[in-house]
Structure 1
Amino acid sequence: MVRYVFQRLWQSALTLLLVSMVVFAGVRALPGDPATVMAGEQADPAAIAAVRAELGLDRALPVQYLEFVKHAATGDLGRSIRTGTPVRHLIGATLPVTLQLALYAMVIAVLLGVTGGVIAAVYRGRWPEWLVNGISLVGLSVPTFWLGLLAVLYLAVGLGLFPASGYVSPFEHPLRGLYYLTLPAVILGVTHAAALQRQTRSSMVETLSADFVRTARAKGLGPGAVILRYALRNSLIVVTTVIGLQLGLLIAGTVVTERIFGLPGIGKLTLDSVFTRDYPVIQAVVLVVATSYIVINLLVDVLYTVIDPRVRVSGRAQ
């Protein structure tokens, strides 16, 4: 177990190093000059050159990259060009909002997706499967932004069931905070539940036809025990993989939803930074989101060994 975790750790560290290179090169390839943005379009060349020297943009790119990695390793992600605020403070204020929304949406997606997948697999070829598959097809086909706009128009403005925008921290006011996050979380959760339902159904159909499931039924176990203790548990490897991927996508893909519902999350921070060409913030946000994705995948890989003892942790198939 320790060897497996150590192996995955260094692989994740190598992936993160490659991601940092891509992020650094990608931000440098964006149009515009940070020094010109910071000094102002009407500034004279001497002022722009002074700003470039202050930001370290007059150095060679390898030197800039090494400085970026050194500071990032210590938690120093630079300062916002637009406000002068340390970037880590901006991310620290917005990332929790996105994480709360993503986790809430993932809970909804798991409840709907796994339940729907089990129903579709158990009632294969009958009307419950057709109904669940039809609903998931709608969830996969309809864009999230359109669902969000409809939800705001009818459920928030029309019926007044939910607030149309705004945010309250669940840590300060738990019930009120969940109330404000419910509608955007449902919109995101429904979309991701559709993909999770498809994968759960596919895995469950294969597992239900396995020999050990037939043996369990022959021993006289009830349908509930067979489905939950045998079929679903042995399908959790695929389901866990999908959940990990979907959670990473949720953290990275809440930009539109946060914009629609006025949530002060990392998606809104990203859009504002792109519009104002705040390159240090863009660079830091992409790096933090990529790190989150890598950490989630690492946790999923470790979780495999808990869910299914047949998974070998030596890194080789036995």
Structure 2
Amino acid sequence: MTFLRFAARRVAEMAATLLAASFVVFGAMYLAPGSPASFLLSGRSASPEAVAAINSQYHLDDPFAVRYFDWLGGVLRGDFGRSITYRTDVSRLLADRLPTTLLLIAMALAVVVAGGLLLGRIAAVRGGRVDSAILLATTFAVGTPSFVAAVLLQGLFAVRLGWFPSGGAGDGIGDMIWHLTLPALALALYLIGMLARVTRSAMVEALAGEHVTVARSRGVPERQVIRRHVFRNSLGTVLTTTGLVVSTLLVCTILVETAFSVGGIGQLLELSTTTKDFPTVQAIALIIVALFMAVNLIVDLLLPLVDPRLTLGTRGSAA
């Protein structure tokens, strides 16, 4: 199978999965107890005329299939409807908040990749007490949930030491990076430990390979052995784990954004869920699903390039 055919097939599969996900996301609103009109009225009593007006305004009297396809058509045009809570277009809300979330995830991912690969490589190569110390530290990191790390970092570096802001997203790229440093570290702590342990295990397994023994017997310098024959052969496993890291960041950002009042789509999702703002919840849920699938698509396309031993479409066997 050629790379282009494989890529086209994966994109088609992603589109089909996203279509099914859109149906689930839209239909999930109607699984909540009570009618949408009762949520819009916030429990207040209303006349039948008022209820009928709400149903007419939000097309709640239309058949489910009609509402779904109307909503799906709007999504394809970039129109996610109108927010019930904020009384504005959901697309505008997302445009204002999505860049903050993406920057936060990018910062956290950079910290995770740099810290996880470095610690995992040192643990595998050095061994002994260094390996034990890194395993202990990563065990602590893996056992610390993101929201706990957020509280600890906020209390120490924002409240007590005053080195970083305790909340908000800032204005301008430099100010935003400063404001998002603590949230990014809170997101990254658990995942650094996970990636470090995966990197260490993959490299330890590669170190025991016959090709490493042969390379050393031929007098290949140790640094070159580690770089070419150990670390490179571990990249397939590491890349697969990195895809899982990004997916986890998409979920955990909701808790961290809420703790630091960042104002991204994670905090918006939490507020919209509380206020039963269905159009906003549906839009954010669909975006998260789309980002999750896009990450998996990128990983699938990169794996054969990173590890030539893999054939296209064999991610499961490689993992």
User: Aligned with 2:165: secondary structure?
Assistant: coil
Q: CA deviation at 1:32?
A: 4.0
Deviation at 1:132, TM superposition (A): 0.6
Task: Kindly indicate whether residue 38 of structure 2 is the aligned counterpart of residue 36 of structure 1.
Answer: yes
Assess if the C-alpha contact under 8 Å between 1:38 and 1:82 holds in 2.
no
Q: Which runs of 5+ in 2 are unaligned?
A: none
Correspondence for 2:50? 47
DSSP-derived class of the 2:164 partner: coil
Q: Which of 48, 57, 66 does residue 60 from structure 2 map onto? A: 57
Q: In structure 2, do the counterparts of structure 1 residues 39 and 245 end up closer, same or farther at CA, with 3 Å as the change threshold?
A: same
Runs of 4 or more consecutive aligned structure 1 residues displaced over 4 Å after TM superposition:
314-317
Alignment partner, residue 21 of structure 2: 19
- 1:153 matched to 2:152? The reply is no
Q: Percent identity?
A: 35
| 3-state SS of 1:254 partner | helix
Question: Is 2:73 aligned against 1:74?
Answer: no
1:269-304 Cα distance to aligned partner (Å, 9 max, x none):
011101111011011110000000001110111111
- Kindly state the Cα deviation for residue 39 of structure 1 after the two structures are TM-superposed: 4.9
SS at match of 2:195: helix
Residues 69-128 of structure 1 show CA distances to partners (whole Å, capped at 9, x for unaligned) of: 22211211111012221111111111111111111011111111111111222233x111
Aligned residue number for residue 194 of structure 1: 193
- SS state at 1:47 partner: helix
- For residue 299 of structure 1, what is the aligned residue in structure 2? 298
User: What is the alpha-carbon distance in structure 1 between the residues aligned to residue 36 and residue 87 of structure 2?
Assistant: 13
* Distance in 1, Cα, partners of 2:218 & 2:98: 51
CA distance in 1, matches of 2:16, 2:119: 38
Q: CA deviation at 1:310?
A: 2.3
Mapped contact 1:204–1:232 kept (Cα < 8 A): yes
Instruction: Spell out the pairing of 1:1-318 with structure 2 (5 A cutoff).
Output: 1-39=3-41, 41-124=44-127, 126-169=128-171, 172-174=172-174, 176-313=175-312
| Distance of aligned partners of 1:314 and 1:259 in 2 relative to their CA distance in 1, 3 Å threshold | closer
TM-score, length of structure 2 as denominator length: 0.93
Contact map agreement 1:27 1:282 (CA 8 A) in 2: no
8 Å contact kept, 1:39–1:47:
no
Tell me: CA distance 1:315–1:113, structure 2 relative to 1, closer, same or farther (3 Å): closer
Q: TM-score, normalised by structure 1?
A: 0.93
More displaced, 252-261 or 308-317? 308-317
Contact map agreement 1:34 1:278 (CA 8 A) in 2: no
Structure 1: give runs of 5+ residues left out of the alignment. Answer: none
Distance 2:147 2:85 in 1: 28
Out of 38-47 and 77-86, give the one that drifted further.
38-47
Cα RMSD, aligned residues only: 1.8
Matched letter for residue 147 of structure 2 = F
Q: RCO higher in 1 or 2 (8 Å CA, sep ≥ 6)? A: 1
> What CA distance in whole angstroms lies between the structure 1 residues aligned with 2:177 and 2:41?
42
How many residue pairs get matched? Answer: 313
